[in-house]
Structure 1
Amino acid sequence: MYKLYGRYFAALLLVLSSYLVIVLLSTNQHLAISVRSAHELETVLSLTSIAIDGNYTPTEQHLTNTQLSFHSKEYPKPTVFNNSLSSFASHFPRIMIIGFGKAGTKTLYEFLKYHPQLSGPETEMRFFSRHYDQGLESYLSSLPPPSHNGFVIEKSPDYVIVPEAAGRIIASADSLGIPVSKLKFVVMLRNPIDRAMSEYLEWKVQRYLRRESVLPGFDTLVTLETGELNLNIKFINTSCYAYHLRRWLKHFRAKQMCYADGGAFISNPYQVIQKLESCLNLNPYFTEDNFVLNHKRGFYCFQDQSFNSHLHCMGESKGRPHPPIKKVVRDRLVEYFSEWDEALKNMTGIN
């Protein structure tokens, strides 16, 4: 009798162990598929921490590959915790400065907010890139109301590099009954090497403030042991403007995109802002007299023409001097970015 029970028990254990092996194998396979799928849709350039390596390497193939469009029906609606959305719907930004970071977006934003038709928050919201799970009410309640016959504007320069951001904006606008075609997006561009260097210097400062290890030199970071460029560096990837903009131009019409030349903005901010006023359908407001050159720093400040107005200048962290780049490294960077610049020209008409 005991032997018979023992045999039954051994057989039962064998069946259970076989079942567990099958479950584990199928679970591992499922996990591998999930990780692979998530990796394809994840934010390829995370700005939540100062990371050295990026998560993708743009290649020539990216110039021609087709991207799926995030239609609002295909993308999750924003989280809604109560029914107070209607009271804040007017707070939804009709104008967003979506990128690129370290191209001059902060100064541009601060200057644009002097326009009487525009109002905006004091800080970067980054709702559609980092805080989408906090709910739409949280976002809208943090934004100021629009002025009379005006619009709310916000600046989050990581939106342009976050794959999910455009779809989230579409879904949120739809949920509020706002025509997506009425939205405008400002994209600030700058020499890609200069922009990359500015972001690298920002990394150095952040590491110093957090008492972390000293960051290697720019030339060292962007060069592999083989002498080739290290294209997995985030600040190099971000400067591949065409790679990121192509995604947005699949979601929005070309006339919804307003481009600003970061280099020209340094030397002639009035000219750049005047063009933006037209593209953003704003009433003409700014004049050349609003922009006063700070000869000590070589940057323009803003001065309202009202009585007894004082100069408004950006902080000392803006306009850090750039260390020299080795010629061989710069030449490789110029060659690499030339293909992306050509793609940008074909895509937007911008030189």
Structure 2
Amino acid sequence: MASQLSGKRAPFSPSDFPQHSRERLGSVGPGSTLTRAPAATPLSGGTGIRLLRAGPSSQSCHCPESRPVAAASRRAMVMTPKPRRLEPRSPRGRDRSLMPRTLDGQITLEKTPSYFVTREAPGRIHGMSPDTKLIVVVRNPVTRAISDYAQTLSKTPGLPSFRALAFRHGLGPVDTAWSAVRIGLYAQHLTNWLRLFPLSRFLFVSGERLVSDPAGEVGRVQDFLGLKRVVTDKHFYFNATKGFPCLKKAQGGSRPRCLGKSKGRPHPRVPEAVVRRLRDFYRPFNRRFYQMTGQDFGWD
């Protein structure tokens, strides 16, 4: 998704679904039944999930390593192979066939950042599994936009300034055609999902609290998925160099797991006047999002 930030583009399409790897926790035992039944889908972007930069990825870092959760609750997390492409008119059952086979009692976790902002995604996921639980990790949309820009700038040094991309002609109204800005309109994207899924199927995770209180937010995720709270404060420590919490290995294993080298990079300097304009722009959308979710994320 970051590669799209260097210019303006049309709304997301099925071709925006990238490849990803597959991880499986747990094993097949005697009498186990294998099915293709996804149980949880984090929506994120930046974020998994990467709807916000540096937030969803930290959560996806915690989930695959939480083997104690699988052992204590007799459930395992199964990270799915990402669908190659969500084809517009694929046969019914095609999406389900892309999921890994899972055991009774396992939780299948499919994480694709662009799902939340892709118009076709709710219908496709609902058609595959209407009982899917949806985890949405969100961050202050202004900070998220700047972080997205920093990610792209690191790969494209000649990129125009943040101001030039965020405002039409660099001076006019906020340019919602730029994906870094458009993705932060969370209320609009959520409206698309609520046409098919009730609010009770969603868990909204704060990207800021994933950094300041990772155990608390991961605890909410465990509750939402019906897992015993095994991942606690003792599993985390703060890495001052990166500015993010790291996850300790279970049973005193090898090195702890921290976010990748692309996380925690310094943000470019953005004029305060630009930040103020974006805050003013997002404020009504943020308040609408608070009302829709019943949560005040404290971005205003």
Report TM bin, short chain.
0.7 to 0.9
Q: Confirm whether residue 194 of structure 1 aligns to residue 143 of structure 2.
A: yes
Q: Confirm whether residue 157 of structure 1 aligns to residue 113 of structure 2.
A: yes
Q: Confirm whether residue 183 of structure 1 aligns to residue 128 of structure 2.
A: no
What is aligned with 2:203?
258
- Once the 2 structures are TM-superposed, how far is the Cα of residue 183 of structure 1 from its aligned partner? 1.3
Matches within 5 A, 1:30-45: none
Tell me how far apart the structure 2 counterparts of residues 159 and 89 of structure 1 sit (CA, whole Å): 26
- Once the 2 structures are TM-superposed, how far is the Cα of residue 269 of structure 1 from its aligned partner? 0.6
Of 60, 63, 69, the match for 1:112: 63
Tell me how far apart the structure 2 counterparts of residues 224 and 48 of structure 1 sit (CA, whole Å): 20
- Shift of the 343–89 alpha-carbon distance from structure 1 to 2, 3 Å rule, reads farther
Tell me how far apart the structure 2 counterparts of residues 302 and 130 of structure 1 sit (CA, whole Å): 33
What is aligned with 1:293?
238
- Once the 2 structures are TM-superposed, how far is the Cα of residue 305 of structure 1 from its aligned partner? 3.1
- Once the 2 structures are TM-superposed, how far is the Cα of residue 142 of structure 1 from its aligned partner? 5.7
Tell me how far apart the structure 2 counterparts of residues 148 and 310 of structure 1 sit (CA, whole Å): 32
Contact 1:219 1:329 in 2 (8 A): yes
Could you tell me which amino acid in structure 2 is paired with residue 252 of structure 1? F
Query: Which structure carries more helix by proportion?
Result: 1
Q: Confirm whether residue 219 of structure 1 aligns to residue 163 of structure 2.
A: yes
Any gaps of 5 or more consecutive residues in structure 1? Answer: 1-45, 57-87, 174-179, 209-213
- Shift of the 294–195 alpha-carbon distance from structure 1 to 2, 3 Å rule, reads same
- Shift of the 310–47 alpha-carbon distance from structure 1 to 2, 3 Å rule, reads closer
- Shift of the 139–89 alpha-carbon distance from structure 1 to 2, 3 Å rule, reads farther
* Rg larger in structure: 1
With the length of structure 1 as denominator, give the TM-score of the two structures.
Answer: 0.67
Structure possessing the higher relative contact order (Cα contacts under 8 Å, 6 or more residues apart)? 2
Q: Confirm whether residue 53 of structure 1 aligns to residue 8 of structure 2.
A: yes
Tell me how far apart the structure 2 counterparts of residues 309 and 122 of structure 1 sit (CA, whole Å): 25
What is aligned with 1:98?
43
- Once the 2 structures are TM-superposed, how far is the Cα of residue 122 of structure 1 from its aligned partner? 7.1
- Once the 2 structures are TM-superposed, how far is the Cα of residue 190 of structure 1 from its aligned partner? 0.3
- Once the 2 structures are TM-superposed, how far is the Cα of residue 193 of structure 1 from its aligned partner? 0.6
Tell me how far apart the structure 2 counterparts of residues 284 and 316 of structure 1 sit (CA, whole Å): 29
Contact 2:6 2:159 in 1 (8 A): no
- Number of residue-to-residue matches in the alignment: 261
With the length of structure 2 as denominator, give the TM-score of the two structures.
Answer: 0.77
Question: 273-282 vs 47-56, which deviates more?
Answer: 47-56
Of 116, 119, 128, the match for 1:172: 128
Contact 1:185 1:256 in 2 (8 A): yes
- Shift of the 192–126 alpha-carbon distance from structure 1 to 2, 3 Å rule, reads farther
Tell me how far apart the structure 1 counterparts of residues 262 and 98 of structure 2 sit (CA, whole Å): 26
RMSD of Structure 2 on Structure 1 (CA): 2.7
SS in 2 for 1:120: strand
Any gaps of 5 or more consecutive residues in structure 2? Answer: 12-32
- Once the 2 structures are TM-superposed, how far is the Cα of residue 283 of structure 1 from its aligned partner? 2.1
What is aligned with 1:70?
none
SS in 2 for 1:277: helix
Deviations 1:84-138 (A, max 9, x none): xxxx972332101112424221221121222313423376x156x7456677877
Contact 1:126 1:159 in 2 (8 A): no
Contact 1:119 1:144 in 2 (8 A): no
Tell me how far apart the structure 2 counterparts of residues 326 and 48 of structure 1 sit (CA, whole Å): 24
